[in-house]
Structure formats: structure tokens, C-alpha cells
A and B are shown apart, each in its own frame.
Chain A
Amino acid sequence: MSKTRRLSSAFLGLPYIFWAAAFIVIPLIMVVWYGLTDENGAFTFANVAAIADPAHSKALLMALLLSFLATVVCFLLAYPLCMFLVELQKGSDSFLTMLLIVPMWMNFLLRTYAWQSILEKTGIINTALTALGFAPLRMINTNGAIILGMVYNFLPFMVLPIYNALEKIDKNVINAARDLGADGRITFLRVIFPLSLPGVISGVTMVFIPALTTFVVSSLLGGGKILLIGNVIEQEFMVAYDWNLGSGLSLVLLIFIIINVVISAVTEKGEEAKA
């Protein structure tokens, strides 16, 4: 009996194991392989070392800076939002939270493109400013516009995990803290925030990685003047057809992704151990 059951479950699992090997593991190995060889297939470290090239390292540093700032802004906007949402819609359904995901049904390129019309020289904001007698602002094609685009696109990724973590907190724990004499500030710092930390960490990961690696936001709102590392890689693959160099630079990104994943895994484990 148990043997036939094991056989049938192997039959269920094989297609996925094959799939994961063919389309997850092997493609990643290809990136490593292309990244560490030259066009003749000989081993080289030059494609990865090319990150030290001033144009590339500038793009990487810029991407790190802008995505860091975007992540911080997302956190600062999302955390109070989630606290208020949990507080105000207690008991009822999470309709408001759902409304935060709905924008994703409008194509994200179009939504980002729409910011062009809002921010550009003759855009909505500047038209309003000049009508009110103020000098127009230079907003499009700046670092600020790219950060705004990142925040706009990735904010839901920060909101959802924090919201879920905050919603799960047992109200009795908070009441207990209050009964034991903690004021609002202490309750927040010692009870609420630590309990929501796993949500914050997963939110940070989910915002930082897409922001760090984007080439769309920077090309739509940065006007092609500000190159991020994502733009460089995209151009190597789609314009210059230098797959080895593109893969080498992707490996550098992969290192940042792995660091990020390890940090969030370690902190998550720590949280579990504490619990």
C-alpha cells in the first residue's frame, strides 16, 4: 500500500522536478557559465571584473543609492499606512488593502509612463505651478523622478507583508503590555515593532531587489541620461549582444541578491528561535 502510494506521488513530483531543473537550475548555470567565459568559451574573470569599469561601477553605485533611498521611503510610507489600516478596518474585510493591489491591473509601464505626463516640463504639476505664478520645477529625468517611480511601483510589495504581520499580532499581547504599565511609545518599540519585524524584512527584500535591478523605471523617468546597472545589462543583451559581459555583470547583481536573501533568512530564523 504505502509503496504504491509512494510510487504515485513520485509520478506527481517528477514533472515539476524536471521543470525546475530545466527552467530554474540550468538557466542559472548558463548565466554563471557565460559570465565566466569569453566568446571562445575559454575561462575568464574579465566579465565580472568589468564591474570595476568606471561606467559600470557608476551605474551600480547609482542603482544601489537610488534603490536604498526608494526602499527607505517605501518603509516610511508603508508602516504608518499599515498601522492605520489595521486599526481602522478591524473586524471588517480588508477591502482597502485589496484596493492597493488593484493598480497592478493597469499595466505598470503605462502607469510609470503616466508619471511622465505628471512630472515633465509642461506636465500637470508644472502647468499648475505656472498658473499659480510659481516657477516651473525640473522634475522629469532626475534622480528624484526615478526614486518616485520606484516607490510608486513597489510600494504594494512593502505594504502587504507589513500589513499581514501587524494584523496577526494578538491584541491581548498589546493589552497586556498596556496593563503592565507600558505607554504607547514603549508598547510600540518593545512589542508591536519587534513582532512586525519579519514583515518589514520581507517587505524590504521585495522592494530593494526589483528597485536595484530595474531598467524600466530609469529609462522611462530618467530619460536615458541616468543609467542604472539594470540598463547596462539590458543593453549588453539586447543591443550590444555581448552575452558574456551581460552575464558577468548579472553575476555581480546575483551576489547582491544572495546577500539580501541570506540576511532575510538569517533574521527570520532568529525571529523563529526567539518565538
Chain B
Amino acid sequence: MKTKYKGLKRLYIALIFIFMYAPIALLIVQSFNSSKSRGHWGGFTLDWYRSLFTDASIGEAFTNTILLALLSSVISVILGTAAVIYMSKLKKSPRTILMGVTNVPMLNADIVTGVSFMLLFLTLRIQFGFVTILLAHITFNIPYVILNVMPRYRELNPHIYEAALDLGASPVYAFFKTVLPEIMPAILSGGLMAFTMSIDDFIITHFTAGAGVHTLSTKIYSEVKLGIKPEMYALSAMIFVTVLLLLILVNRVPAKADAHGKEAV
């Protein structure tokens, strides 16, 4: 089939990308703007990048954000993968119920999930802070892990695992040698998705953070009315460019790894 109007279609795609990236470009430009007022260009400066590293409150929010994302994605990967193995052995109706419950955090609105956590912690008189945010993040991350790992796990050939058992491997050893390598790509993509969701979350964190603890998101929200510190632009620009470079890098690597794998076979 011939592609008609190729130029116009390219133009359309380009316009959408401009729409998606214009605010980001603006934020990056802003991070080099020596004027604190955002509508006014006061000349190029690296001051915000310098003062960023001495700003304790941004540093703390950054540490919290990364720590939450790391812990919540690792814990949700472990819980979620175990749940997949368990669920695939269940009969149809209990499995449907458990999958239904699993889908709730994804289908529910973030604000309802957020207030539901708030009510739970209030009722149990749990001190709001890092732990309450972490519990919430793990909860909304688990579905991403399960939904990534489940299809991959169900595609596995069970005979390989059984063969390993027949050959004398312990169940744990057989799992790590035959099952885990096969589902690893799904675990990694689920974990990465969870990490991303945790980093980007504001709404649920807003309702579970309490007064003392800030993540980057809640800190930005609290600064919106008075004007966001330019250091925040600098930090975000750095995070964004790092991720972009990493993604481009990762995008090149699998192609090579695949070719390598085929050669080995």
C-alpha cells in the first residue's frame, strides 16, 4: 500500500510533538533565565544550577522522591510477581475476583484513592509522613507489575519448570533458573512503569503526605501560588535530559542484545 500525503502526515505528527514538548522546552529555557520573573528574559545564567546544590529543601524533596520510587517499585515488583504466580494457579472465579480488586487502583480516580488512604490512616491514627506515602505508592504500583508480568508468565511452558524439578532441582532453584529469566523483561518493564508512576504522582501523595514531608511534586504544588523557585526548573531540566539520554541509550541496546542472542542460538 502506498503512503499518500506523506508530507502532510509528517507535519501533523510534528505539530503534536511540538504541542507536547513546547512547555518542556520553555521550562528548560527558564532554568537558564537570570530573571526570576518568568515572563521576562534577563540573560543567560547557570546560577540556578549552582544554588540548586546548596538548597537543602529541594535536596530533601528530591531524595524523598527517588527513595519512594525505588522502594515502592522494588517492593511492588516482589509482591506483584509473587501474586502473579499465585493467581495463575487459582481457579477461575477467585482469580477473577482478585484481578478485579487489583484493577481498582488503576480504574479508580486518583483523588478517590488518595482520600481513601487519608481516611484509613486517620482512622488508624497512623502518623502521616514518609511511611504513609510509601504504603500508598506500593499499592498503586502493584497493578502495573501484575498486568505486565501476568501475560508473560501465562505464556511460559510449564514443562520446563517441571523438567527442572524432575531433574532434581528444588522448586526455588528451578524457579530462579527456568521461570525468572523468562519473565525478567516483563518484571523490568513493570518495575520501570511503577518507578515512573511513583515519581510523577502528585494527587495521592498530596493526600498521604501530611505536613512535614515533601516530594518534588508536593513541593512544587506548595510553591505554585508564590512562584516556583528557578532552582526547581534547573533540577527538572536535569532529570528530564538524563532520562531522555538514558531512554535513547536503552532503545539502542536491546536491538544489539537481540542480535547477539540470535547469534548465540
Is chain B a partner of chain A in the same complex? yes
Interface, chain A (partner B; CB < 8 A): 5-6, 8-10, 12-13, 15-17, 19-20, 23-28, 30-31, 34, 77, 80-81, 84-85, 87-88, 93, 95-96, 98-100, 102-115, 117-118, 120, 122-124, 127, 152, 155, 171, 174-175, 178, 205, 209-210, 212-216, 219-220, 230, 233-234, 237-238, 243, 246-247, 250, 253-254, 257, 261
Min CB distance, A265 to chain B, in Å? 10
**Do residues B79 and A15 form an inter-chain contact, with CB atoms below 8 A?**
yes
Known: A24-B102, A109-B220. 15 other contacts (CB 8 A): A9-B85, A16-B79, A20-B98, A106-B24, A107-B200, A110-B27, A114-B23, A114-B26, A114-B30, A122-B39, A152-B19, A155-B20, A213-B111, A213-B112, A250-B112
Smallest Cβ distance from A19 to chain B, in angstroms? 6
Of A28, A152, A175, A210, which contacts B110 at CB under 8 A? A210
Q: Is the CB–CB distance between A30 and B111 below 8 Å?
A: no
Q: What residue in chain A is nearest B40 (Cβ atoms)?
A: A122
Would A247 and B86 count as touching, CB distance under 8 A?
no
Q: How far is the CB of B70 from chain A (nearest CB, A)?
A: 16
**B104 and A24 within 8 A (CB):** yes
**Chain A positions within 8 Å of B169 at CB level:** none
Report whether A107 and B217 are in contact in the complex, using a CB–CB cutoff of 8 Å: yes
Q: In the complex, what residue of chain B is closest to A220 when comparing beta carbons?
A: B224
**Contact among A85, A106, A178 with B240 in the assembled complex (CB-CB below 8 Å):** A106
Against A, the Cβ 8 Å flags (1 = close, 0 = not) of B46-63 are 000000000000000000
B163 interface residue per 8 A CB criterion: no
Question: A98 touches which one: B119, B206, B247 (CB < 8 A)?
Answer: B247
Chain A residue contacts of B23, Cβ below 8 A: 106, 111-112, 114-115, 118, 152
- Are A80 and B12 closer than 8 Å at their CB atoms? yes
Distance in angstroms between the alpha carbons of A105 and B199 in the assembled complex: 8
Which of B22, B87, B196 contacts A104 (CB under 8 A)? B196
* Chain A residues in 8 Å Cβ range of B118: 237, 243
Cα distance A28–B100 in the bound complex, in angstroms: 14
Q: Would you list 11 pairs from A and B whose C-beta atoms are within 8 A, ordered by A residue?
A: A28-B116, A30-B123, A31-B116, A87-B9, A104-B196, A106-B24, A107-B220, A115-B23, A123-B39, A247-B115, A257-B108
- Using Cβ atoms and an 8 Å threshold, which residues of chain A touch B1? 171, 174-175, 178
Beta-carbon contact of B10 and A88 below 8 Å: yes
Which chain B residue shows the least CB distance to A156?
B20
| Given contact pairs A87-B9, A103-B20, A155-B20, A111 touches B27 in the complex (Cβ within 8 A) | yes
CB within 8 Å for A24 and B105 given contacts A84-B13, A88-B9: yes
In the bound complex, how far is the Cα of B25 from the Cα of A114, in angstroms? 9
Please, how many angstroms separate the alpha-carbon atoms of A212 and B108 in the complex? 12
Residues on A with C-beta less than 8 A from B17 are 99-100
B74, chain A: closest CB distance, angstroms? 14
Residues A81 and B112 in contact, CB atoms below 8 Å apart: no
With an 8 A cutoff between CB atoms, is B157 at the interface? no
Contact B120 A30 (CB under 8 A): yes
Residues of B within 8 A of A (CB): 1, 3, 6, 9-10, 12-13, 16-17, 19-24, 26-27, 30, 38-39, 79-80, 82-83, 85-87, 89-90, 98, 101-102, 104-105, 107-113, 115-120, 122-123, 135-136, 138-139, 142, 171, 196, 199-200, 202-203, 206-207, 216-217, 220-221, 224, 228, 232-233, 236, 239-240, 243-244, 247, 251, 255
Chain B's closest residue to A22 (CB) is: B120
Q: With both chains docked as a complex, state the minimum distance between the C-beta of B191 and any C-beta of chain A, in angstroms.
A: 16
Bound-state CA distance A111–B224 (Å) is 12
Given A113-B220, A114-B26, A210-B110, A108 contacting B200 (CB threshold 8 A): yes
A81 to B251, CA, bound (A): 22
Q: Is the CB of A250 within 8 A of B115?
A: yes
Closest chain A residue, CB of each to CB of B201: A108
Do the beta carbons of A114 and B85 come within 8 Å of each other?
A: no
Residues of B within 8 A of A106 (CB): 23-24, 27, 236, 239-240
In the complex, the answer to whether B207 meets A237 with C-beta atoms within 8 Å is yes
A residues near B104, Cβ cutoff 8 Å: 24, 28
Known A-B contacts A27-B119, A107-B236; the reply to A120 vs B39 at CB < 8 A is yes
Contact of A109 with B224 at beta-carbon distance under 8 Å, contacts A8-B171, A13-B87, A85-B13 already known: yes
Out of A81, A111, A209, name the residue touching B16 (CB < 8 Å).
Answer: A81
Assembly CA distance A17 to B90 (angstroms): 13
Q: Which of B24, B30, B116, B251 contacts A103 (CB 8 A)?
A: B24
Residues of B within 8 A of A108 (CB): 200, 202, 217
Closest to A205 in B: B107
Are B111 and A233 in contact (CB-based, < 8 A)?
yes
A152 near B82 with CB under 8 A, answer no
Q: Given the complex, which residues of B lie within 8 Å of A117, measured CB to CB?
A: 26, 30, 38-39
Q: Is the CB of A254 within 8 A of B112?
A: yes
Cα of A212 to Cα of B49 in the assembled complex, Å? 37
**Which single member of A81, A96, A102, A174 contacts B244 (CB below 8 Å)?**
A102
Instruction: Evaluate contact between A104 and B200: CB separation under 8 angstroms.
Output: yes
